[in-house]
Amino acid sequence: MDAASSRRGRPAAHVQFSQWHRDRKLSGSAERFGESAAILLGDLCLIWAEQMLRESGVDHRSLQRAWPLYDAMRTELAVGQFADLTIDVRDLPSMDTVLEVARRKSGNYTVRRPLELGAAMSGCSDRTISGLGRYGETVGEAFQLRDDLLGVFGASSVTGKPDGQDLIERKATSVVIAAHTLADPPTRRQLAELMNSGDLDDGAIERWRTLIVETGAVEWIEDTIGHRVSAALSEIDQLRINAPLRAALAKMAAVCTERTE
């Protein structure tokens, strides 16, 4: 289950399936059942999405242009998620690594590839497709940075997940890596302690959050999001597209990266 998709205020699929299991008083572990059923639902969605595109009525030639991009999107998502699993937070991966994984597992399929798909299917020039690709990659990265901030500071009413979920899971997100990079040595030691400690209670999570803010990591991420959005807007300035389309793309960059959803 992707982080972004479960930040919509409704319980994720595996939680709903677990409840279904409990309501029916079935035997065995409700958690295990919930996870298994959610995986099967994921398989069905993967199948149905491809089937819907194939049966959409879009002509054969446009579909032929779409499939390579569609396959790339699906494959790089799975590979990116795998890369995410192998990142060991104790090794403190570089910011470049963290952003590269974020691009592959989230930014590309959320923004870049869908744009390229639409452009390819409607017969846009290679120049336009590349420009939209660069815009999408940049917006996708800003989207992921916003998601990382929500994962640490978002209220559970907004994210639909426990407060500070990414800290509880010890995820090596851009926020955590930025804090480690910017921290002075004593703060860095405190951050490392929290990272390597066993169970974290609410107080520890709150202390961790405060330390992160004190390093200046939040401002740094906010600035980076701002720069990414500006870069994306320059990309669309260079595209040969009409004014309403340009305005829509600018709007989309804002919506994908704004502070609350």
List interacting residues with a second copy (CB under 8 A). 26-28, 33, 36-37, 39-40, 42-44, 46-48, 50-51, 54, 60, 67, 71, 74-75, 78-79, 81-82, 85-86, 88-90, 170
Question: Least Å distance between CB 120 and a second copy?
Answer: 16
Question: Least Å distance between CB 238 and a second copy?
Answer: 33
Q: Which residue's CB is nearer to a second copy, number 116 or number 235?
A: 116
Q: How far apart are CA 29 and CA 244, in angstroms?
A: 53
Question: Least Å distance between CB 28 and a second copy?
Answer: 8
Q: Which residue's CB is nearer to a second copy, number 161 or number 228?
A: 161
Q: Which residue's CB is nearer to a second copy, number 79 or number 255?
A: 79
Nearby residues of 62 by Cβ (< 8 Å), 6 or more positions away:
120, 121, 122, 123
Q: How far apart are CA 40 and CA 128, in angstroms?
A: 38
Pair 26, 33: CB distance under 8 Å? yes
Question: Least Å distance between CB 59 and a second copy?
Answer: 12
Q: How far apart are CA 80 and CA 85, in angstroms?
A: 9
Question: Least Å distance between CB 33 and a second copy?
Answer: 6
Q: Which residue's CB is nearer to a second copy, number 48 or number 259?
A: 48
Q: Within its chain, how far is the Cα of 70 from the centroid?
A: 18
Q: How far apart are CA 16 and CA 37, in angstroms?
A: 10
Other residues' Cβ atoms within 10 Å of the Cβ of residue 124: 19
Pair 153, 218: CB distance under 8 Å? yes
Q: Which residue's CB is nearer to a second copy, number 44 or number 255?
A: 44
Half-sphere exposure of 157 (CA within 13 A, CB side): 1
Pair 107, 222: CB distance under 8 Å? no
Question: Least Å distance between CB 98 and a second copy?
Answer: 16
Q: Which residue's CB is nearer to a second copy, number 13 or number 145?
A: 13
